[in-house]
Structure 1
Amino acid sequence: MSGSARVGVDQLTVTVYGTDTSGAQGDTVRDLYAEVYAEPPYHEGPAEVADFASGRHRTVDQRNFRLVVARWAGEPIGFAFGVPLRVSTTWWDGALTPLPEDITTEYPGRTFAIIELAVRRPYRRRGVGRRLHTHLIAGLSEERVTLLVRPEAPAPQQAYRAWGYRPVGRIRPFPGAPVYHAMIKQLPPPGDADARSHPRADPVGQHHRRDMR
């Protein structure tokens, strides 16, 4: 991948993939993940990348999985993906302090979880993260969106707050995992798409849950 950092609107494209069409993007997503998460504070190597690829493979099979990939002049520069939370989800189980039931209770159509949002370093703060986020949540029927973000990554936290997310608690997704801030964004009623995203900065993409349930 080249290191070009000049992003022109006419050269930036974002493609949306579903469960049936995202499989062919596996190598692209893995390579982007490996590049972004090799950086601090993550310092992830081949073992973590393999773990990510395995977890993503399971997630792709879930109903209403959605993936978006950003390309500049045809070159992949970022991605994001997520799924609706199931009623039986374990998403909230790792809360370090008890969360109220009005946060943790899930029912069909309540919550869409953004599992990853990542942009290559040369292309950050240039509107790429905003475009990924906008396309990922466009047309969702869910009431809200949730994501996890590392406390050691202040830039993404600031961006998510600007995009309408609020922190609701700290979560350790599984034993031995880092601690994350859980954040939620309430979505307006379907049909009010313009109100769903007003971002002003681009995050690196710091939230991931290896196995969505």
Structure 2
Amino acid sequence: MSLQGTISTTPMDGAAAVLATDAFKLVYAEAFAEPPYYETADDVAAAFRHFPALTRRLAFRAVLARSSKGEPIGMAYGCPLRPDTVWWDELTKPVSDDMRRENGHRTFGLMELAVRAQWRGQGVARQLHKTLLDGTGAERVLLNVHPASEAAPAAYRSWGYRKIGEARLGGQGGELHDVMLLALG
């Protein structure tokens, strides 16, 4: 599918993201219903149950992409990792203390980035990523990605991310995800 008209990306703080929760939820539900995620309506509800609290975190930021007709087509959000973050504790193999060191602005945690199926392959994800990270002041970006999702890890690698380990999300019974890191500037 070729782009029809222009796509707009709107950066948002937490308050604006809360007002657009339905749009974020729509993109999330469609993107993560597909393999290898198979998210159900209950999974989506659970994911967004904590969204309002997440948006109140210091320096939370989000981006929503819309078609020229105003239809939500992609989204991304995250925030800097706190000094007491558990992200590093979820790795299956420990990393150095220097790698783990957080101060509340060193590492931006990219929590979600998704594009609806009909809009993929057109640079929407790259634009969301760029807009989300512009002006963060972070040294690096950390994310978890499902390794069975071939397109997402490939896109992240093409943007300069490197795999630094694996994490079992949701505790010992959770699925294994690749942990990827991007050094900024």
TM over 0.5: yes
- CA contact under 8 A between 1:84 and 1:111: conserved in structure 2? yes
Please report how far the alpha carbon of residue 158 of structure 1 lies from its aligned counterpart in structure 2 after TM superposition: 1.1
- Structure 1 length normalisation: TM-score? 0.83
The 5-angstrom pairing of residues 22-37 of structure 1 reads 22-37=17-32
1:42 Cα offset (Å): 0.8
For the residues of structure 1 that align with 2:100 and 2:82, how far apart are their CA atoms? 12
Work out whether 1:68 is the aligned partner of 2:63: yes
Q: 1:37 deviation in Å?
A: 0.8
Contact 1:147–1:182 (CA under 8 A) maintained in structure 2 = yes
**How far, CA to CA, are the matches of 2:44 and 2:105 in structure 1?**
31
Measured in 1, the distance between the counterparts of 2:174 and 2:25 equals 20
Q: What is the aligned length?
A: 183
Question: Counterpart of 1:145?
Answer: 141
52 and 121 in structure 1: CA distance in 2 versus 1, 3 angstrom threshold? same
Quick one: distance in 2 between partners of 1:63 and 1:45?
30
Which position in structure 2 is the counterpart of 1:161? 157
| Runs (5+) with no aligned partner, structure 2 | none
Q: Which of 63, 82, 96 is the equivalent residue of 1:100?
A: 96
What SS does structure 1 have at the residue aligned with 2:16? coil
| 1:185 and 2:182 are equivalent in the alignment | yes
Which one-letter code corresponds to 2:176 in the other structure? V
SS of 1:16 mapped into structure 2: strand
Tell which deviates more after alignment, 129-138 or 98-107: 98-107
Report the counterpart of residue 136 of structure 1 in structure 2. 132
**Percentage identity across aligned positions?**
38
Q: Which protein is richer in helix relative to its size? A: 2
What amino acid does structure 2 have at the position aligned with 1:124? R
1:83 aligned to which of 79, 90, 108: 79
Post-superposition offset of 1:32: 1.2
Report deviation, 1:20.
2.5
Match of 1:173 in 2: 169
Residues 91 and 173 in structure 1, CA contact (< 8 A), matched pair in contact too: no
Structure 1, unaligned stretches of length 5 or more? 189-213
Residues in 2 aligned to 1:92 and 1:127: alpha-carbon distance in whole angstroms: 30
1:161 alignment partner, SS class: helix
1:39-58 equivalence runs, <5 A: 39-58=34-53
Rounded Cα–Cα distance in structure 1 between residues aligned with 2:166 and 2:124: 27
TM-score (norm 2): 0.95
- Counterpart of 2:22 in structure 1: which amino acid? D
Q: Which amino acid aligns with 1:179?
A: L
How far apart in 2 are the matches of 1:34 and 1:20?
21
Q: Deviations over 1:85-138 (max 9, x none)?
A: 000111111111121222212123210010000000111010101110010001
